[in-house]
A and B are shown apart, each in its own frame.
Chain A
C-alpha cells in the first residue's frame, strides 16, 4: 500500500501536448478510476506511472519518493493489460510466478505464493495449462494473478475488462472489487466505461483532452457534475441537457412554444442557459401540470420503461420505474422536480452553483 501523487504531470509528443498538467492524489489503499473518451490521455497517464512512457514535465511519486527516473521494475508496481499480455509459451504457473523469479525468491516460496493466488482466483486446476487453452475470463484471471503474486505497492489496470463479453465483464467487475476489498492495495484503473468507473471506484477522475474535468466520489460526480462534459459522460441513460432561456424571477427555463420547466437554483443569470436533468427525475403528469411532449420511442425492459419524447424540438429521455401503455405518437406531459435540476452556463459549460 502506498500513496501515489501525480503533480502537474505533462506529456509531450513532439509539439503536441497529450497531457496538459494533471494532478491527482491517490490515497493509500484507494481504488481510483481514470475515465474518459478514447484519446483523453488516461492510458498515457497510467503508462507514465508504470514507467512505460517518459514524463515530460511534473512529478509522480509513489510512497513519497519521486519515481520519474526510476526503472519500471524498481517502481514496485504490477500492471494488468487489456490484452492480458500472458506469455504464450509459459504455463499459467510460470506466467504467475514470472516476476518472483526476478525477485530471486526461492522455488518453494514462488510455488506457495502462486498457489495462494490461484486459490483466490479459482485457477488452481489450471496451473499446468497454457494461455491458449483458457477462456477469455480465465486468461484475465491469470493476468490478475500475475499482479497479485507480486504483492506490489500499487496495481495498475489498463482497460482490463474490455475484451470480455458483457456478462463476464459484470462478473469480473464484482470479483475485482471483492479482491480490492480483501487486499486493500492502492489501485489505479483506466477505463472508458463510466459504468465500470461508477461501480468500482472510491474516487473517479474524469479526463478529456489531457486535462481533468472533475475528480471525486462516484455519487458526487453523479449528483453534482462540474460541467456539461461530466454531466453528459457520467450516467446511463445520459442526462438530458436542453438549451433554453432562463427567467430568474420565476425560476423557470423556457424552451419555446410556451413550454417551460422550473428549477430551484437561486442567483442565476437571465438569458440562454443549459437545463439538465436525469431521465429518472422525469415524472409524467396530467394535462396542464407540465409541458406537452410527443412520444417518439418506447423501450420497455419489463422492469422499467425508457421513453423518449419530443418537446418542441428538444429530445427528452425519461426513465420510469413502471410499465406504460404509451406508444410512439402519444402526447405526454412532463414535470421535473426542481431540486434535481442542474444548470450550466452556455458559454463556459460550467455548472452554475447557487450562491
Chain B
C-alpha cells in the first residue's frame, strides 16, 4: 500500500531515463510516499485519541471518589476505584426507569419513522403522479421549519389529547421524519430500477408483496442507517421531553441527567456514573446495526 509498483526495478538501472525520480529533498518517490502515509497515520491517530479521550475520562470519572475527581493531574485509571457513584445513582434516582423510558421512546420512534419513510419514500419515488410531486415538495418544506417554532402548539395539542407525561406524548413529534422520507425516496430511485417492479408485476406479485419482499430487502442498508439516525435523534432529544414530561417518573434519561446539574453545582461523580450507564445501550445498538450497514451496502446486484 505504501509502495508504487508501476516502475520495473530493472528499468531503474538506466539512469538517464529515470534520473528525475528523486524529489526536491533528495528522497526517492517511494520514500516520500511512505513518509506521507506515516504523517497521515500519525495525524489520524492523534485526532482519534482526541475524540475518544473525553469518553475515556467520563467512564474513568464514574469510578472515582469526589477527592480524586478534582485531583491534578487527572488519572485515567482511578487510584482508589469505587462503585459508590453507581450505587448512589441507581439508589437515589429512578435511572433504570429513565433509561427504559428513553429506550422505549427511541425504539417506537425509530419503528414509526422507518415505516413511514419506507412507505412514503417508495411511493414518492415510483408512482410519478403530479399531485405526489407537490406533496413531496410540501414534505421537504417542513424540514426548514425549526422544531422550536411549533414546539408550543404541539405541547397544547398533547395537553388536549391528555397524553402529557406518557410515551405517546413523547412520540407526538417523533413519528415522521421528512429527511427520512427524502433519504428513502432518493435511495429507491437510485437502487431499484423500474424493471424490477415491472418484472414482479408480470410474474403475478401484488403491490403489497412487491413492497415487502422486494423493495424492503433492497433498502436494508438505507433503512438501517435511517434506523440508527432515528433512534439517536429520539434518544438524545431534550427540548421536547423536558416540556412534555413533567413528573419524575416520566423523564427520559437526557432530562434525568440534566437534574444532576443545578444552577449552582454539578454533581460530577454521579453525572459521570449515570452517563456511563447510559452509554451502554447506545453503543450496543450501534455495534449490532453496523454489521447490517455493510451487508446492505454490498448487496446491489443489478447490472452496473
Contacts and interface: CB of A to CB of B under 8 A. Distances in A.
Contact of B301 (A52, A73, A89, A163): A89
Given A81-B195, A83-B195, A88 B202 contact: no
Nearest to A134: B301
A13 interface: no
Contacts of B217: 89
A98 B300 CA distance: 19
B302 A83 contact: yes
Contact of B299 (A52, A89, A99, A163): A89
A325 to B, nearest CB: 42
A139 B196 CA distance: 14
Contacts of A261: none
Given A83-B193, A87-B196, A89-B218, A72 B302 contact: no
A15 B84 CA distance: 79
B196 A85 contact: yes
Nearest to B217: A89
Nearest to A82: B195
B195 A132 contact: no
B303 interface: yes
A347 interface: no
B61 to A, nearest CB: 46
A247 B299 CA distance: 68
Nearest to B301: A88
Interface of B: 193, 195-196, 198-205, 214, 217-218, 299-303
B205 A85 contact: no
Given A85-B196, A87-B196, A88-B218, A102 B204 contact: yes
Nearest to B205: A102
Contacts of B303: 83-84, 136, 139, 163
A84 B199 CA distance: 9
A14 to B, nearest CB: 12
Highest count of chain A CB atoms <10 Å: which of B195, B198, B199, B299: B199
B203 A102 contact: yes
30 contacts: A50-B202, A51-B201, A52-B198, A72-B198, A72-B201, A73-B202, A78-B202, A79-B198, A81-B195, A84-B303, A85-B198, A85-B199, A86-B302, A87-B196, A87-B200, A87-B214, A88-B218, A88-B301, A89-B214, A89-B299, A98-B200, A99-B202, A99-B204, A102-B203, A102-B204, A131-B301, A131-B302, A132-B300, A146-B203, A150-B203
Contact of A79 (B202, B204, B300, B302): B202
A87 B205 CA distance: 13
Given A85-B193, A89-B217, A52 B302 contact: no
A229 interface: no
A50 B196 CA distance: 14
A73 B201 contact: yes
Contacts of A108: none
Contacts of A163: 303
B204 A88 contact: no
Contacts of A139: 303
A78 B199 CA distance: 8
A81 B199 contact: yes
Contacts, number: 75
A77 B202 contact: yes
B218 A51 contact: no
A126 interface: no
A131 B304 CA distance: 12
A303 interface: no
B122 to A, nearest CB: 16
B195 A73 contact: no
Given A86-B301, A87-B214, A88-B300, A79 B193 contact: no
A174 to B, nearest CB: 22
Count chain A CB atoms within 10 A of each CB in B202, B204, B303 and give the residue with the most: B202
Interface in A54-93: 72-73, 75, 77-79, 81-89
Contacts of B204: 73, 99, 102-103
A130 interface: yes
Contacts of A98: 200, 203, 205
Given A51-B202, A102-B204, 5 more contacts: A51-B201, A52-B198, A85-B196, A88-B218, A89-B299
A89 B203 CA distance: 17
A83 B195 CA distance: 8
Nearest to A51: B202
B44 to A, nearest CB: 32
Nearest to B199: A85
B45 to A, nearest CB: 36
Most chain-A CB neighbours within 10 Å: which of B193, B196, B218? B196
Nearest to A130: B301
A100 to B, nearest CB: 9
Contact of A88 (B195, B198, B302): B302
B299 A132 contact: yes
Q: Pick the 8 closest A-B CB pairs, nearest first.
A: A88-B301, A102-B204, A132-B301, A99-B203, A85-B195, A73-B204, A85-B199, A131-B301
Contact of B201 (A52, A82, A86): A52
Contacts of B198: 50, 52, 72, 79, 81, 85
Interface in A278-310: none
Given A87-B214, A99-B204, A79 B301 contact: no
A72 B202 contact: yes
Interface in A232-259: none
